[in-house]
Structure 1
Amino acid sequence: MEFLFLLPEESAETVNLSCIIVSYNNSTPLRNCLESIYHTLREISFEVIIVDNSQNDSGMLSLKESYPQVQLIQNTQNVGFAKANNQAVRSAKGETLLFLNPDTILTDQAIEKMVAFLKSNADVGALGPKVLNEDGSLQYSCRRFPTLMTGFFNRYSLLSKWFPDNPYTVNYLMKDFSHDENREVDWLSGCCLMVPRAVFEKVNGFDEQYFLFNEDIDLCRTISQSGYKVIYFPSAEITHYVNTSNSKVPVAIIIKRHQGMKHYYGKHYAKNPLAKIIVNFAITLRCLSQLAFNLFKETPTRDTFK
């Protein structure tokens, strides 16, 4: 399916950067994110577009009052992360697009450095900063493309926690280099991902078959297949506050995540029917195991999944 990402007809005016944030019951961390945006971006023209996929986040009204210049798109239902981002791009006026999670904090000049790098490197189609945890430690935000083993040795899996230096985890998370130098990589985390608008349009944006998770992997792969580089850029740094609680995850989120995995492998790998059956079976087993473990987790006081 082909999508059109055109500038709004009512205004031909463009800005250097469109900051796009999809929120789902995330108004509390979003306030800190917005504060960091308006505090750190000084040398470029920009706009902020928020797509609210929740229908009962009372904090959004207060945010709109505090930041009236923000464009807020209120959805009547949760349409998912990929579709909401595409929705925002259709309203955006930026020459460059910055996709941000609401639980990120920008540091001084980080985004302006990224914009300048893209302008000086026309062959780059996606750019991501060094991402830090709340305690200042490195968050592995650039990775190699997932394989079947990644389902068992990913960033949050028990096997990776028990055996952090196993070869599968080291390879997938790219723990085999210092993360202090520019490097062409397979894919970058969507928590802070910068893409030239022209490139985003060329690849038809995010694949809306993904509801949540995997869409950043797919986008980077499509950008790479279109002849552009995907670059990890540690000269720019941000902080990403990842939720590490042991709270119960909504069942629908677990199921949709694994449906996304099936879509990704079917789209990019499964040319062999037998291999497709094996992969789908393995993903189904992983989904069932996570649903089982989820039964023993604490019930959250509020959904905070974006």
Structure 2
Amino acid sequence: MLTPEREFWRLMSLDRLWRRASYAQADWDPQISRLVDVIIGACLLLRRTALEQVGLLDENYFMYTEEVDLCYRLAQAGWELWWVPQASVTHHGGASSKQVAEEMYIQLYRSKVRFYRKFGGGFRVTRYKFLLRIAYMARLAIAALGARFSTSLRAQAHLFRRLLAELPEM
């Protein structure tokens, strides 16, 4: 499940060094049905009784993390989440968010902060923001080093600065 520590390890590209830090779905065969912590995506097949018990997607999320929220509530209520490869959907991922990529990147982190606030309280939010600040300061330093030579690194540095500036208000 989503945790501040897993996010930090992933952002620092250290999740490959320590298996427990990575998301469980990162290194398994997607052709085999299996029990999972969370299902990320545009389509979830759920039992009506499960939704009646825990409620629908939380409309307070503008975009991103709403399915993590739902999966977390389902797990808390005792429901199992299964990846089932026989169910297939075509999703043109990112078609909406690519149009305003920078804003959607910031929105991703607003949504994650909302999740931690909802399910972990102030301390968890503070810890997440602290780890996020460390990770993005490191990423900004690397991007800034190459910004003179690369348009994409210049854009990344701008984005990372914006995220760091907006983080306290999230």
Q: TM-score range by the shorter chain?
A: 0.5 to 0.7
Tell me the distance in 2 between the aligned counterparts of 1:257 and 1:287. Answer: 14
Q: Which runs of 5+ in 1 are unaligned?
A: 1-144, 297-306
* Distance 1:275-1:158 versus aligned 2 partners, 3 A rule: closer
- Seq. identity, %: 23
Question: 1:193 and 1:281, CA in 2 relative to 1: closer, same or farther beyond 3 A?
Answer: same
- Give 1:268's aligned residue: 119
Structure 1 residues 215, 287: CA separation in 2 closer, same or farther (over 3 Å shift)?
farther
Contact 1:211 1:257 in 2 (8 A): no
| Cα drift, residue 231 of structure 1 | 0.8
Distance 2:33 2:51 in 1: 22
Q: Does 1:236 align with 2:87?
A: yes
List alignment gaps of at least 5 residues for structure 2: 141-154, 160-170
Contact 2:39 2:83 survives alignment (8 Å):
yes
Structure 2 residue 47 is the aligned partner of structure 1 residue 196: yes
Is the counterpart of residue 295 in structure 1 residue 151 in structure 2? no
Per-residue displacement from partner, 1:20-46 (whole Å, max 9, x unpaired)? Answer: xxxxxxxxxxxxxxxxxxxxxxxxxxx
259, 278, 284: which is aligned to 2:110?
Answer: 259
One-letter identity of the residue aligned with 1:295: H
Specify the alignment match of 1:149 in structure 2. 5
Residue 211 of structure 1 deviates from its aligned partner by 1.1
- The answer on 1:207 being equivalent to 2:58 is yes
TM-score norm. by structure 1 comes to 0.38
Which residue in 1 is equivalent to 2:68? 217
CA distance in 1, matches of 2:34, 2:71: 14
* Residue 17 of structure 2 corresponds to residue 166 of structure 1: yes
Q: 1:168 to 1:148 in 2, by over 3 A?
A: farther
Q: CA RMSD of the aligned region, Å?
A: 3.6
**Deviation digits for residues 191-219 of structure 1 (CA, Å, limit 9, x no counterpart):** 22112233223212112221111110110
Deviation at 1:275, TM superposition (A): 4.5
Q: How many residues of Structure 1 are paired with residues of Structure 2 in the alignment?
A: 143
Q: How does 1:61-80 map to 2 (within 5 A)?
A: none
CA change 1:194–1:287 in 2 (3 A) is farther
- SS of residue paired to 2:71: helix
| Structure with greater proportional helix content | 2
Q: Deviation at 1:164?
A: 7.8
Output the TM-score relative to the length of structure 2.
0.63
Q: In structure 2, how many angstroms separate the alpha carbons of the residues matched to 1:248 and 1:168?
A: 33
